[in-house]
Amino acid sequence: MSDDITDQEPEATKPRSVWLDKLSQLSKRKWWNSSQFMSLLAFLISMGTFLTFTYQTYLIQKQQSASVLPYLRIDYGSGSDYFRIDVSNNGVGPAFVQDFVINYRDSTYRMSLSQFAYQIFKPDSTVNYSTSSSSLGEGYAISSKESVEVLASNNAETAKLLKTLFFDDGLMIEIVYSSVFEEEWKLTSKSYIPEKIDY
């Protein structure tokens, strides 16, 4: 009985160079074909289009918001025989009043300035006291370029009392208002510049 002798070497005994040749062949294979490249290109283009539209939408919203932006301001007018407080809208859109607050000596009041001043002074029949006012409370809308006279007096005695109340006693008005897009600001008679409220 004769043994068959084969010239083939077992896999484990193949020279190292054979394995290196196989690795070299694998590395030379093309992992990307034209179809895969076109798919990737289409994906990148769609992502770029999406980001462009998103940014354009953001710019349009900012432009729309700026086109209806209200800007309230509190103005004082006073002289020897008169006193006046106006709230004016110098913006380009309407201002919707959400709250009107009077801060005085660590207390808060929600009423018209005329009512508040009357309660503070409680003038009797011997005092020449007279004021006029417009109520500026929740729900009141101030259109662009409109001015509202929230308190006024053309009486010298009353004007003197009001100037003392506002300039010496530290009475402060606080107005919270919003735009048509429901952005909100707070304005006080001490700061004069509206401060945006971020929730």
Query: What does the DSSP 8-state code read for residue 33?
Result: -
Q: By the 8 A CB rule, do 153 and 132 touch?
A: yes
Helices (H), the chain: 16-27, 34-67, 113-121, 156-163
CB atoms within 10 A of CB 11: 8
pLDDT at residue number 13: 52
Tell me whether residue 142 is exposed, middle or buried, using C-beta atoms within 10 angstroms of its C-beta: 0 to 12, 13 to 18, 19 or more: buried
**pLDDT band at residue 139 under the 50/70/90 scheme:** confident
pLDDT per residue as tens digits for the range 68-77: 789 999 999 9
Task: Determine contact, residues 117/165, Cβ cutoff 8 Å.
Answer: yes
Segment of 29-43, 114-128, 165-179 carrying the highest mean pLDDT: 165-179
Q: What does the pLDDT look like over 99-109, one tens digit per residue?
A: 999 999 889 99
Of 146, 141, 147, 119, the residue nearest 131 (C-alpha)? 119
Across the chain, mean pLDDT equals 82
pLDDT at 2 > cutoff 60: no
pLDDT computed for residue 65 by the predictor: 59
Handedness of CA 179, 183, 187, 192 (dihedral sign): negative
Break the chain into its structural domains and give their ranges.
Answer: 33-67, 72-197
* Higher per-residue confidence, 173 vs 19: 173
- Domain 72-197, what fold? Immunoglobulin-like (2.60.40)
The string of pLDDT tens digits covering residues 7-56 is 555 555 555 666 666 666 655 555 566 777 778 888 888 888 888 888 77
Full-prediction pTM beyond 0.95?
A: no
- pLDDT higher at 95 or 51: 95
Reported as a single tens digit per residue, the pLDDT across 183-195 is: 999 999 988 789 9
